[in-house]
Amino acid sequence: MATVEVSTVILPRTPRGAFSNEPFTDFSRHENVHAMRGALVRVGDLLGHEYPLIIGGERIRTRGKIESRNPARPAQIVGIHQKAGAEHADPAVDAALRAFEKWRFVPAETRAALLLHAAEIIRGRKLDFCAWLTYEVGKNWAEADADVGETIDFLEFYAREALRLARATPPIQYPGERDELLYIPLGVGAVISPWNFPFAIMAGMTSAAIVAGDTVVLKPSSESPTIAALFVEVLEEAGMPPGVVNFCPGSGATFGNAIVEHPRTRFVAFTGSKEVGLGIHQQAAKVQPGQVWIKRTILEMGGKDSIIVAADADCDAALDGVVASAFGFSGQKCSACSRVIVEDAIYSEFVERLRARVESLTVGDPAKNSSLGPVVSEAAMRTILDYIETGKREGRLLAGGSAVETHEKGYYIAPTVIADVAPTARIAQEEIFGPVLAVIRARDLDHALAIANNTEFGLTGAVYSTDRMSLDRARREFHVGNLYFNRKCTGAMVGAHPFGGFNMSGTDSKAGGPDYLYLFTQAKSVAEKLR
């Protein structure tokens, strides 16, 4: 067995009690508002710093650069990053493989302690991380706080899950034997993370892998590499040995493809678009020369999510849930409500009240905590505006429908609602990933459920109804991985709502649930005959 060399900074830490979700920050309290404004000032003074690649602990600079910019103020550079190319794939995988030969033998208690220490560090700097999210991807204060809180939750939850797996036993002990069931790590994994939850999803996939004993080549989105760089710094501060996580922002077409196809990459954890996810799945399925395993893919690929509002629903609660689900973070969530399906009996009233509610939303700089901030990039804004023009032809524009001009030339789009949309219209079928909501009329619950299930996706959904029989039927027939009753369809909580979807929404990996770490391990049965 290789000698294990782990930084002495990883101090013994055990979870304090049962897991509980990190509480949200109450920004109605003056002291929290004051503290958040202070964090924005502190972090604002740090913008524009240059960050290296980190491969095997070595800091590397490249000729090509990635500039992360504030989507609310595109002239403002948040961070400058090195651009990993295909030539960096071998060094990154080699470094991860060398680290794996030691890290896989580190006790689960020590690996869990690393995550718990990282959670403590992040919790102590919570509002500063919120400020980074506001600057880098345009999250308002509540959305940023939820992202940071979920990051802490993943670290705390997966640390406990690793300890549970370390205590696993076979269902029975066969007479005359000592039987064991060991969940051992897979090897080197590629983690390819998205920009919309650049802290929580990136940290969740990465921490699940390393607490299971794997090592990682981390390729964050080019829209949000700074928060990933800061997370790797936290892991190093918490005592992570060199090479366990290798930080390599770069192009998906070059570096991304190279690590997915690499014969020594054992698994790929990806969150992003359906098109890219399917490409990764296809690439990973091809066995490369020298590869001796079937490569595993853990994919979360988006959705076209619906909320059904039944005729007997609490209309006020439904309006709250639909607006929050459709326009939180400008609709840039795979779980966002992009279709609301309303029963005919209340359709006209609901649509009019929805219009008034949406028109009351504010659009502006997320640093000032507006309801909606910018979309992530100019390219995203153009795509969303094209969909809005399509929607104007496919339905009746109820609210929004255009870009919002600002002095700073941010990428703002007014929250847009298009009514009277056919269930098969483009804006009712294709993922838009922006502040655009299609309203669809249904005759009754039968019709509503048929519409809700008529897309290629199956991620989240919700039903507002006061009728228990209707809810029970939706529980059986609404084909999504995360279904909610009488609440919004966004905001899955770690532990309570394991997250992942069906069909083209991905491999239903159930992040934040008791099954997730199994995806980063393999079960080894050991039987010893007793004398």
Q: Which residues are catalytic?
A: 300, 334
DSSP class per residue in 190-213: EEE--SSSTTHHHHHHHHHHHHTT
SS (H, E, C) 402-420: CEECCCCCCCEECCEEEEC
Q: Which residues of 308-318 are buried (b: 16+ CB within 10 A; e: fewer)?
A: bbbbebebeeb
Give CA 230 to chain center in angstroms: 17
Rounded to whole angstroms, the Cα distance separating 425 from 438 reads 10
Q: Which of 54, 521, 3, 516 is nearest to 244 (CA)?
A: 54
CB atoms within 10 A of CB 356: 10
Give CA 56 to chain center in angstroms: 26
Q: Which residues pair with 502 in a beta bridge?
A: 458
Contact 203, 235 (CB under 8 A): no
Contact 388, 416 (CB under 8 A): yes
Which structure tokens are listed for 341? 């399906």
Rounded to whole angstroms, the Cα distance separating 83 from 90 reads 15
Give CA 272 to chain center in angstroms: 9
β-strands 416-419, 436-442: how paired?
parallel
What single-letter amino acid sits at 149?
G
Rounded to whole angstroms, the Cα distance separating 392 from 283 reads 38
Contacts of 89 (CB under 8 A, 6+ apart): 217, 255, 258, 259, 262
DSSP class per residue in 5-54: ---TTS------SS--PPPPP-TTSHHHHHHHHHHHHHHHTTTTEEE-EE
Any idea how long the chain is?
531
The CA-CA-CA angle for residues 121, 374, 305, to 5°, reads 85
Contact 126, 35 (CB under 8 A): no
Q: Is 120 helix (H, G, I), strand (E, B) or coil?
A: helix
